[in-house]
Amino acid sequence: MIEKPPPFVIKNSENEYKEYFEKNYCNKVIMTFDNIRVYFRKEHFKHAFFESSKFNKIKDKFSFERAKRIDWIAATLKNKNSKLFKGWNGKKKMVNPNRRVAYCFKNYIVVIEIKKSKEGILKGEFITAFSASNKTIKRICSSPIWNIEDIK
């Protein structure tokens, strides 16, 4: 992607990033460019900013590399030029139209889960965000385009 991402956020500790996340995401209203509110819970911090030190999928180590891109999450969600793809359900081994994968800054990915209320209002829940490998970007970009009409 050609767009310029926001500057890195530089903090001195995991705790400072956690406070920043809670203040700027968990305690604020974040809307996507197409008017879907995205909710952030404190528990999402670990999934978004930790990585596996042993490459065993267990996220056990805080990542300053991931955390410095914290402002890229809201910027990606709010950017009308983000490319949107349907996510993947690894357990069912199939595309999940309620998972929205947004991509607009370099190789940065933001994943949200979108649900529809009984009243028909869409709301999103933050799942994760990360810098993806070229292989992962190719796989994401080969997924179907996300479409609001497909939400169940």
pLDDT tens for each residue of 22-53: 999 999 999 999 999 999 999 999 989 998 87
Q: Which residues of 59-76 are buried (b: 16+ CB within 10 A; e: fewer)?
A: beebbeebbbbbbbbbbb
Q: What is the pTM of this model?
A: 0.92
pLDDT score recorded for residue 2: 55
